[in-house]
Structure 1
């Protein structure tokens, strides 16, 4: 039994946050401890009190109750109480007695050495988990693909290449103009994720058309684990309601007024500062207080469908002017558009002007410059396509590249120089299906059906003219609609095939699902905007299930947004939209890179009806079903009057034919314009296949290093229940005995997978990578706690003599720097592992951590504490000696990091400066940032420090 004496200082092993305790009362059975730091008492049984005696030895530093830090010169025991003779650092003659009762009440035991020597011990398994967490963090931070491996995306080369090129820049300002279906939203999401993950951005605003708000919200959450807050008028109104704090503020204002202090400046809260990631519609942007929105300190603004921002020198639209206001105050800007520059030089200039108004000050200068670029683009295309270069071609290239060797042996260098000097790829990226392979063929078939008598209406309402079932309050229309009868027969004929059915209206989808499912007994699921995310996930998963799932998924227009169903090859369009972009989005749910089969598009339509007009307008007029239609929006604008006339007289064959011919003419003119204006220089700058393959290989390698084995051990410690769902998929739920809330684990659980293919096929499962919030939160939870910092274990090895003592030590070398500097590119948190014996010899090269773990076993805490107490002097000496040796290794690591940083930053700086002389698209801000970044990195890396992060005492025994 431990001897306790009133006045002694002890530490609670189970509640170290209580601070240093003072023995208050002792009787034959109990001991009462006062914790002055928190003004609390605890009473323990003397024979098993979870307390550790705190004493200081010569050379230790103690803190008095007055906050003085003194170095211990000697210590004396007076009837069980310690009296220390100590002096301020650097004043050895100024010695003063310090009874232990006068010690400070706070005791910092964050260091591994402190925790070991004061018997604040963790289990052997916690030590091993801590080392695993340290290694995982170092591997993540030092990765070249940091920020790219977390998103739930397929490994598509051009998307990865653009993200890699753009996201590494400071405050990127670029136009993403890939053709429809190539994944601009994914590219933007990758850039956002990487900028946020690396700390280069913290506050992001996304502005999208009204119809795309939900799509973006779902895509950002599901694919990138980015939780955006949707802002609308209702949200702003809720934020503007008086809160308890604002009531206090009003009362304070009234009091100040009474006291004559009413002239104090008014403080107005900005509601847009309430969230870091905000998503809003273009309509909301046009109606909100733009001054307040622009003042919200955005790091990055993203604008989708930027070609809808109308601009002219005399009369820019309201939406354009508001985006321009945001662009002036935000360092970073991403504009997304599928409309190429050839459909309007003025419109293209307007978008580039938003990105860099200094670089693009006037339309006339831009038009002149574009003429010069066209010549270079044609030259680049010839150099790329020809195996051998004739003399005339070499002369043309040499005239543009003085000083360069222009021949086939230097093909890559010549093309790279052309791209660097003349290419617009630093601000504009555009990939087309000409230069990206992997898309399926598309075939369409129309099915003319008779128009039911109850659908013949004279109503001028556009919805009833195009979607006549809208006039019915329930699903009674299904029994009389020939499209439903056709769909029943079609699904029976396609038994075993997955079929996606899309219609414009939510009520149409609901009625059709109810009728087909309950009255016809068909295997169908439904998907519409009235369902919450969980319900949508379940519907999508039910449809994706190849064995017991639904044959068909019936979607409202929302089914053409945000979800990929490329495992299906049949698309039924129960009706057609007026907007060609919506039609392309519908088809785009199946027409994706990686689609393995030809897409079959089926369109049942009513004869002599508006839907027949739309079918022939799309099919015969612009061939929009079987080919992508990047000019669809422009075609609609140019044929709008003729289209409306045909829709008003759907039975008039002559009017319909005039519409088809006018549409063909416009479509041919625009397609010719697009093809003749193909910018080969831009295509070459937008995609580097070799770099893309390197990124894909690194991501595949990262996928093979799953976090699941680490998480499985961690879940056992924290009490998280794990249930196998299927191969490479698990269900996680909070267990009944969970120690504390686990980060990103919902109360009702979550289904996860570490397999990319499974995650892509199953939207209801979360994709676990080392960048997933649940995993990063788990690492932060472990490394932010004291668990595993000090441990004692038993080594069972018959070849090692009993009583042999070993120390396994883990030091970390790291720099504390602002995240946006990305200092971890050069110096990620690096772990130095050492294994020393009782004589201080390093055995780490001979015995690995993994091999040692297999032989180390649990040791009961009472025995572990006795071992530490009995070997305290030896342990202190070993730790101090080894720390000096580790310092040398740490200095080498820091110097290596400094050299790598200097070399890489200098190379990039010289490249940008040289490029700036040739290509004005390199902004001065980028060079200034790089110079400031290099100076800051130099300072922070030189200040890098090492520390003992974890220590394990290993004692050999039976």
Structure 2
């Protein structure tokens, strides 16, 4: 071994047993004394890890024979010329001299350079040393380290080999849905990132946008992000970013400037622009509810200016409808001002017509795909005709591969052809429109329970009907003064308040300055009557025929129908638009159910109070009721509830959808229906409004998916109906509104299927679905147990036993055991990071879970997942310390087997792409072609072992480590030990006995032969598991489709040549993957006698 100054080497630092060391540190050669046979090494410590491990020397002199040439652990944080970088790959791994490494600046992910190891400063913990060499030197670690690392390494192999950004997303408190991951991939693979996310409601546009920001923030920790959102949603965005993505933004306030993560309300864009908003050098801008800007000319211009000046921008919009051409074009102008701002409508319509022609023909095919076997001949002919008309040779090649006489009648290639058409023959590929049809199999049902009542009048001393009649009379008296503005600003607010509570109505009369003696008089009597009913609550509920008011009616419903006074009752969320109604309902809940049974969530409460109440509702089995104003409809997760009660009906279907959407969310179990409980007064305008939402839009039974963009028109029709006849206008317009909605649904359905087919039938989508399922299957209790066991052995002691079903784990800063940590040189998490997390309420103590579902349900818990300091500390230590990568052990079993086990990791070889300065994100959609699972290869050491089924051996090997019954023998034990082999080893330690059985030369010879044979076997397995022809086809499809769509829509095709060059390199990276030995073990299964 030829050593040079500047090289990194592995140095023994095991004071306990210098002759058989198990503990090593990374050192850099400072000088070499060939005459003395020694080297002087420096052990770098740029992050002061010696505060935990003061026995690690700053430098030392070692015999050359004691040090070993090694690699730097991939993924290490290193310093280069004083700047922090992440190490990506070794450029010349087999080089005899100094090695070069590709490193990526942590402050600017776009800066990737190649640097010599001599110029890098690397922490002494970051060693990459072959487990084969560890075995050769009899460095056998305890089987508990080995088995726990197997599980940890398995799930990290999935994350590292998944598509770009998935690892970051896996660390967020969100459900992992394939359509969202697909969207995130699309946004990130092609820079600049300029997209319009126009998913239908409920599909998680906010999650997609936040995920993109989170991943870009991982690339560049100095990222400057501007969020432009409606003021009513600003707090929701802040909450989502903090709780789900651990990003802490600030809400813009005039005069206070802008932070690196700033949320600016649309309503304050004028002020913000005056304070330098547009000169803020933002890296990315997120604009929510972009379609609302179409009715706000000044704000629209501000956002258009931002779009011109900011390279990366994401617009979140209701799904645009192409038939509404003016709106569609205006949205595209925001996305690409330079391309669309000066485009005349005639040109735009001709481009839309081109897509429309293809869309209509594809729609008829998609309707037949459900019964493909019966219609395959017709579908084939139609696809041939489309390919001929488009003059697309690549599409023709795909269609020709459809074998309608084959075993599956060519359905896979038919799907591929449809995906190709729908993906590439669209006017604007940077508008992503996910449809609910993608999730139809996994969404819960919505149900409705209507609670009705007759308004009581003066004859029953209640005065609600009298007040209603007085209100209608007052409105009619306004006569010709009623117009759109008065309906919006006066009549609708009065009606909405009236059908909430007498106190809300009285307050609204005063707020609007309505001076009508008769109306005020009756409203006052109504308030007094309602107060009296509330005072006599117990008596009234004992005789339900006495109930007059809606609030008491709902209390009765909760008690009688949902048994809310029982600990087994379902969880319920109650909504009202008015704070005074909420306060009165809180008083009733307190009287009837007691304070422990409910929680509140409304404007004016502090963030601490809001969070504490959400925690109680999510955690407590006793707390059954969450009582909210509209603040509760914005962003908080009340998925734990099954019923949503509407004390009053919103006049905006958006508000209604927001309420129901707090329960009807992605990830909710399909079998758990979302039940809306709606109370309304019979024979009133409120009943007409209910029928409009129920019969007209069916919002209580189905989401308003796809119709969001027309809701402005719908609101206008409601206003016109009230102008025409305030008392019966809504009733008369229901049929026309139903007709209008149905006509728009027909137009939308064609677009929905066209959009969905581009995703459903694309190979990447199917790979994503498989990847998500595989990851979720392994993100389980066994993984959590392995993580906890490793952490405990490495000194990071947690409270909570995952093996006994406990999913909640507490870590305390003072429970870190340095003595145990010396085994692996684990670096504990930076506890200071947690001080900014609102869910951390105890000093020097954190509580969280490895369970994703529990983390989503319980906002008070941390989520131990990628990106969390505890999780990252454990994972980095398990994978980089070398402990558990080499092992020799015996286990009792039901069969006899003796041999070597090699576990291989598979990943793309990124070096060719780095050499041509290609973007690593180009590999995004191809990683799925590589095996997600690590490859196990077995090398039996005798004839008897060769006859045993390899699957049986693997199944026995991967069982979690437990030695309560002394069924495992550690063959690397350096001291004498009592185990089931003690009768065989006699007075020798297990290690000495093993060395006698396998002397060094014989042992090394076995290892060479076994590793060579198993490496070849691993290569063969990789070839079998990946379809290189399909990889080539996907590359051709991407490049040729880009060329074809450029020609079809008259776009510039200059980029095609560069695209082909880059994707040829991508093909090389994937087709010649890097196969790395992750761990190696001598494994002996000793057949257990029946009497043992």
Q: TM-score, normalised by structure 2?
A: 0.60
The structural deviation recorded for 1:307 is 0.6
User: In the alignment, which residue of structure 2 is the partner of 1:749?
Assistant: 846
2:562 to 476, 495, 499: 495
CA contact (8 A) 2:322 2:352 kept: no
Shift in alpha-carbon separation, 1:621–1:61, aligned structure 2, 3 A = closer
Counterpart CA distance in 2 for 1:509 and 1:855 is: 63
CA contact (8 A) 2:26 2:127 kept: no
Matched, 1:583 2:656: yes
Shift in alpha-carbon separation, 1:618–1:772, aligned structure 2, 3 A = same
**Equivalences for 1:936-955 in 2 at 5 Å?**
937=1066
Matched, 1:310 2:294: yes
The structural deviation recorded for 1:325 is 2.5
User: In the alignment, which residue of structure 2 is the partner of 1:226?
Assistant: 245
Shift in alpha-carbon separation, 1:806–1:180, aligned structure 2, 3 A = closer
**Equivalences for 1:878-893 in 2 at 5 Å?**
882=1007, 886=1011
Matched, 1:401 2:387: yes
Counterpart CA distance in 1 for 2:876 and 2:377 is: 62
1:599 to 675, 687, 693: 675
**Equivalences for 1:427-446 in 2 at 5 Å?**
427-431=431-435, 436=440, 439-442=445-448, 444-446=450-452
User: In the alignment, which residue of structure 2 is the partner of 1:374?
Assistant: 356
User: In the alignment, which residue of structure 2 is the partner of 1:686?
Assistant: 756
The structural deviation recorded for 1:752 is 2.5
CA contact (8 A) 2:714 2:737 kept: no
The structural deviation recorded for 1:469 is 3.9
The structural deviation recorded for 1:524 is 2.3
Shift in alpha-carbon separation, 1:667–1:430, aligned structure 2, 3 A = farther
Paired positions, count: 831
Matched, 1:125 2:144: yes
**Equivalences for 1:210-609 in 2 at 5 Å?**
210-220=231-241, 225-234=244-253, 237=256, 271-272=259-260, 280-283=264-267, 287-288=272-273, 295-298=281-284, 301-310=285-294, 317-325=300-308, 329-330=311-312, 333-342=314-323, 344-356=324-336, 360=340, 361-385=343-367, 399-402=385-388, 412=414, 415-416=418-419, 418-420=421-423, 422-423=425-426, 426=429, 427-431=431-435, 436=440, 439-442=445-448, 444-447=450-453, 448=455, 467=497, 469=503, 482-496=549-563, 498=570, 499-505=572-578, 508-509=581-582, 512-518=585-591, 521=594, 523-528=597-602, 539-540=613-614, 543=617, 548-563=621-636, 565=638, 568=641, 570-591=643-664, 594=670, 596-597=672-673, 599-604=675-680
Counterpart CA distance in 1 for 2:769 and 2:726 is: 53
SS in 2 for 1:419: helix
SS in 2 for 1:749: strand
The structural deviation recorded for 1:367 is 1.6
**Equivalences for 1:50-61 in 2 at 5 Å?**
54-57=62-65
User: In the alignment, which residue of structure 1 is the partner of 2:1038?
Assistant: 912
The structural deviation recorded for 1:674 is 0.9
The structural deviation recorded for 1:733 is 0.9
Q: Deviations over 1:560-589 (max 9, x none)?
A: 223455665543222344543112212333
Shift in alpha-carbon separation, 1:843–1:563, aligned structure 2, 3 A = farther
User: In the alignment, which residue of structure 1 is the partner of 2:230?
Assistant: 209
Counterpart CA distance in 1 for 2:264 and 2:197 is: 19
User: In the alignment, which residue of structure 1 is the partner of 2:969?
Assistant: 856
Counterpart CA distance in 2 for 1:544 and 1:60 is: 54
The structural deviation recorded for 1:640 is 7.8
CA contact (8 A) 1:835 1:843 kept: no
Shift in alpha-carbon separation, 1:205–1:868, aligned structure 2, 3 A = farther
CA contact (8 A) 2:970 2:990 kept: no
User: In the alignment, which residue of structure 2 is the partner of 1:722?
Assistant: 799
Task: Return 5+ residue gaps in structure 2 as ranges.
Answer: 1-10, 17-22, 31-39, 51-56, 71-95, 99-122, 389-395, 457-461, 476-485, 509-526, 535-548, 564-568, 818-826, 835-839, 915-919, 962-966, 977-988, 1087-1092
Matched, 1:135 2:157: no
CA contact (8 A) 2:901 2:939 kept: yes
**Equivalences for 1:88-127 in 2 at 5 Å?**
111=129, 125-127=144-146
Q: Deviations over 1:409-433 (max 9, x none)?
A: 6773664564356345843425267
The structural deviation recorded for 1:354 is 3.8
CA contact (8 A) 2:1043 2:1053 kept: no
Counterpart CA distance in 1 for 2:717 and 2:1066 is: 58
Task: Return 5+ residue gaps in structure 1 as ranges.
Answer: 1-8, 23-33, 43-48, 63-87, 91-104, 240-270, 647-652
The structural deviation recorded for 1:513 is 2.6
CA contact (8 A) 1:442 1:599 kept: yes
The structural deviation recorded for 1:655 is 3.1
Shift in alpha-carbon separation, 1:828–1:698, aligned structure 2, 3 A = closer
User: In the alignment, which residue of structure 1 is the partner of 2:809?
Assistant: 732
Counterpart CA distance in 1 for 2:828 and 2:687 is: 58
The structural deviation recorded for 1:442 is 3.8
Shift in alpha-carbon separation, 1:862–1:761, aligned structure 2, 3 A = closer
Q: Deviations over 1:422-480 (max 9, x none)?
A: 3458434252679947543445455446667999999999778855646889x999666
Counterpart CA distance in 2 for 1:909 and 1:655 is: 62
2:881 to 766, 773, 785: 785
Counterpart CA distance in 2 for 1:944 and 1:588 is: 44
Q: TM-score, normalised by structure 1?
A: 0.67
Counterpart CA distance in 1 for 2:229 and 2:277 is: 19
Shift in alpha-carbon separation, 1:315–1:464, aligned structure 2, 3 A = closer
SS in 2 for 1:737: strand
SS in 1 for 2:626: strand
Q: Deviations over 1:708-728 (max 9, x none)?
A: 232232243234333269985
Counterpart CA distance in 2 for 1:938 and 1:536 is: 52
Counterpart CA distance in 1 for 2:776 and 2:956 is: 22
CA contact (8 A) 1:12 1:21 kept: no
Counterpart CA distance in 1 for 2:249 and 2:67 is: 59
Q: Bigger CA drift: 782-791 or 359-368? A: 782-791
CA contact (8 A) 2:885 2:1080 kept: yes
The structural deviation recorded for 1:811 is 7.5
Q: Deviations over 1:331-365 (max 9, x none)?
A: x64533245344x3111122234445576544331
Shift in alpha-carbon separation, 1:465–1:398, aligned structure 2, 3 A = closer
Counterpart CA distance in 2 for 1:395 and 1:866 is: 72
Shift in alpha-carbon separation, 1:37–1:617, aligned structure 2, 3 A = closer
Matched, 1:638 2:752: no
SS in 2 for 1:549: coil
Counterpart CA distance in 2 for 1:703 and 1:310 is: 41
Counterpart CA distance in 2 for 1:849 and 1:133 is: 17
**Equivalences for 1:759-770 in 2 at 5 Å?**
none
SS in 2 for 1:908: helix
User: In the alignment, which residue of structure 2 is the partner of 1:709?
Assistant: 785
Counterpart CA distance in 1 for 2:438 and 2:150 is: 50
